[in-house]
Chains A and B, each alone.
Chain A
Amino acid sequence: MNHLSDEQIAAAAAGLDLDGSAADHLESCVACRTEIEALERLIAARRRRFAAELPDWETQATAVMERIPAAVRTPGRARSAWLRPVFALAALVVLAVAVGLLRPDREPAPSTAEPSVEEVLAEMNELLSDDRIPGFEVIDPGIDDLTADPDNGKS
């Protein structure tokens, strides 16, 4: 097989996958590997320059941790930001309900006090003395009187 193309050398140097035959060739070809390694060495040399610039990590970490209490009170600030409109809406609803309850012209609410035992017994007696079958009193009494409707309900 021929040597790798420039495109393939670049792909290999970039750490990208080569197809099967190109990868096989690279494994066995010193010349192609040398091409890639030359660029890798150069990049590594450039990377080493950053080592001379690195800050003191401990100092940096201390500075970050010192800023945290001043920066935020709780780590949940981001969550409360999106909850803010929800809370505002809830507050409005509560306010509207409160205003409705406090309106001066509002009729007094019906008493919700429980009836006394005597009242319950009286109601039960009234029901028992009614000989109509409960529920049927709502039916129109004329419904059984077919003669009252000359067209037998067709109109």
Chain B
Amino acid sequence: MAQPTHPERVPDDRALVMRARNGDRDAFAELVRRHQRRVWMVCRQYVGVDEADPATQDSLVKAYEGLASFDGRSAFSTWLTRIAINTCLDMLRRRRREGVKAVMPDDDDPGGAAAHVPDDAVDPEGRSMQRQAVARLEQLERGLPERQREIFRLRFYAEMELDAIADALSVHVGTVKTQLHRAVHRLRRELGDVR
């Protein structure tokens, strides 16, 4: 009788962390592949498109250096996100210290959103309206209080869960909900008919 076949078991993050701690570079390379997109999206929200790649690389190298301090109390992805956020905040502080003009994450894109948004509206008028709406949303996001903007972007663009955001920012999940609700409410109100 044939033995039942088992699908190849994919090691979870914790198992990979353990292996990486013991010097298994392939295990860490797998962690990089799994999480680099999320880390990049987080960095993109903080430092802009030009710095997102170096910030992502720095974050991943720092994560490797600090593997011994990962205690497993939170998910590896959350721990890594926290490192990414701190790396970005350090970069922004360094920029300020060095007197470099702060580059807002959206200011480094002279083409604006309209140049990038794929057209999923069927007619030219619809496409034009959508571009305007996206451009307006970008502008309004910049006007949000810092914490609201941060949480809004982590939720919708980095696509993080609420408790993961709370963990990454070291705040209560209730704070995340409140700030997110305020951000969405304000954006809806200010967008008005543009939606």
Contact = CB atoms under 8 A, between A and B. Distances in A.
A74 B36 CA distance: 22
A65 interface: yes
Contacts of B32: 61, 64-65
Interface in B10-68: 20-21, 23, 25, 28-29, 32-33, 36-37, 40-41, 44, 49, 52-53, 56-57, 60-61, 64-68
Interface string A29-64: 000000000110011011111111111010011011
A79 interface: yes
Interface residues of B, number: 51
A42 B156 CA distance: 11
Nearest to A79: B68
Given A47-B157, A75-B67, A77-B65, A67 B57 contact: yes
Contacts of B170: none
B144 interface: no
Q: Determine the main DSSP class of B at the interface with A.
A: helix
A39 B188 contact: yes
Contact of B56 (A51, A60, A75): A60
B6 interface: no
Contact of A71 (B64, B69, B117, B157): B64
B189 interface: yes
A133 interface: no
Given A10-B184, A14-B184, A48 B61 contact: no
Q: Determine the main DSSP class of A at the interface with B.
A: helix
B68 A78 contact: yes
B184 A61 contact: no
Interface in B161-195: 162, 177, 180-181, 183-185, 187-189, 191, 195
A63 B57 contact: yes
Given A9-B188, A42-B137, A76-B21, A60 B117 contact: no
B101 interface: no
B118 to A, nearest CB: 6
B113 A49 contact: yes
Nearest to A52: B116
B184 A49 contact: no
B70 to A, nearest CB: 9
A14 B182 CA distance: 9
A100 interface: no
A15 B53 contact: no
B90 interface: no
Given A14-B181, A55-B56, A72-B64, 8 more contacts: A10-B181, A15-B162, A45-B117, A65-B28, A68-B61, A68-B64, A72-B65, A75-B23
Interface of B: 20-21, 23, 25, 28-29, 32-33, 36-37, 40-41, 44, 49, 52-53, 56-57, 60-61, 64-69, 113, 116-118, 120, 130, 133-134, 137-138, 155-157, 162, 177, 180-181, 183-185, 187-189, 191, 195
8 contacts: A6-B189, A10-B188, A11-B184, A14-B181, A39-B195, A49-B116, A50-B44, A79-B68
